[in-house]
Amino acid sequence: MKIAVVGATGLVGGVMLKVLEERGFANEEIIAAASPKSIGKRIQFADRQLNVVSVDDAIAMKPDFAIFSAGAAASRQYAPLFAAAGTIVIDNSSAWRKDDDKPLVVPEVNFSAITSESRIIANPNCSTIQMVLAVSQLHKRYRIKRLVISTYQSITGTGIKAVRQLREEEAWHAEQVIKQGENAPSQVDAMGVHSQAYPYQIFRNLFPHGGDFQEDGYTTEEQKLVNETHKILSDNSIAITATVARVPVVGGHSESVNVEFHEEFEIEEVHKIIAETPGVILYDDPSKLQYPMPIMSEGRDEVFVGRVRRDLSQPRTLNLWIVADNLRKGAATNAIQIMQKMIKG
């Protein structure tokens, strides 16, 4: 087996290599490809080091699979070239998600969307993956009518520059505390922070902004939740509205999801369905203060669901709290699970 990881030196690319090792691919031929500035670097994989090569060189090596995490522009340019060389591409960017002829896949939910003709397969947005997986079996049983989604997204979803910004802001504030004690300001001096991934400080802050704003006032991250959920569940009748917030968290994304169904439900059956959904862990015992948190999900492949309760304001409606590691199940793990299922046939 020959597998290329395109964008191997990035935050998600590094997790992809880690997940490949964990899932039994340590002895396969792994090709680490990246942008020109990274060519020639050496990165650790399993018990050996990989030389980073150009994407063109990776295409020439004709891998069986190419797993992309290099951004939409790079995917638009290079994914068709890999496909033309006989490689199956699994792409983590937004490049192909809306294309009708490209399957958008969460393997536990709609793996059947992949056919023998599929050469480029889209990996959904991280927030979409965890939410769709958590509600997929409930949709089969009760049919979802409407979703109201509020996300609390980790800075790791933005990338390494955002992680550096938070660390630099924390360090700057710690320095001010040493100098000024209790009088240290909460607002960070932007001039003292070099990694500006966001228009505002993220330390001790959050903002309702992820992606780019559209003319309708929604952001592209919010629109992805709408479009991708419709495509994965094959149901455009579901009414969906979303608000995305970025929070100073590293471990994973959290989501508050209000689900209105066409059919009535019993809360005991809901618990049972969620607990039996592949890839999902029901962690929900208010009497013991048990509910999912991003610190719990970090480094895990499962989606955690808790705070399961009936919405008392209207019928047939449920509230859920959904948490997952956005770099793993929300990106790297989902892509590699797709590849694994394709290998098994």
What pLDDT score does 190 carry?
A: 72
What pLDDT score does 301 carry?
A: 98
Angstrom distance (rounded) from CA 5 to CA 233: 28
CATH topology of domain 2-124+331-344: Rossmann fold (3.40.50)
List the chain domain ranges: 2-124+331-344, 128-158+204-325, 162-192
Q: Which residues contact 325 (CB under 8 A, 6 or more apart)?
A: 251, 252, 294, 297, 298, 299, 300, 301
Angstrom distance (rounded) from CA 125 to CA 97: 9
271 noted as active-site residue: no
Q: Rounded to whole angstroms, what are the CA distances from 243 to 207, 223, 246, 252, 324?
A: 11, 9, 10, 17, 18
Cross-strand bridge partners of residue 281: 304
Q: For residues 6 and 55, is the Cβ–Cβ distance under 8 A?
A: yes
Q: Which two tokens stand for residue 56?
A: 């063109």
Q: For residues 106 and 135, is the Cβ–Cβ distance under 8 A?
A: no
Global pTM reads: 0.96
What pLDDT score does 186 carry?
A: 87
What pLDDT score does 303 carry?
A: 98
Closest by Cα among 205, 210, 202 to 242: 210
Q: Which of 126, 139, 173, 209 is catalytic?
A: 126
Q: How many CA atoms lie within 13 A of 292 on its CB side?
A: 30
Q: For residues 172 and 193, is the Cβ–Cβ distance under 8 A?
A: yes
What pLDDT score does 183 carry?
A: 87
Residue numbers in the chain where pLDDT is lower than 70: none
253 noted as active-site residue: yes
Q: Which of 194, 209, 230, 253 is catalytic?
A: 253
CATH topology of domain 128-158+204-325: Dihydrodipicolinate Reductase; domain 2 (3.30.360)
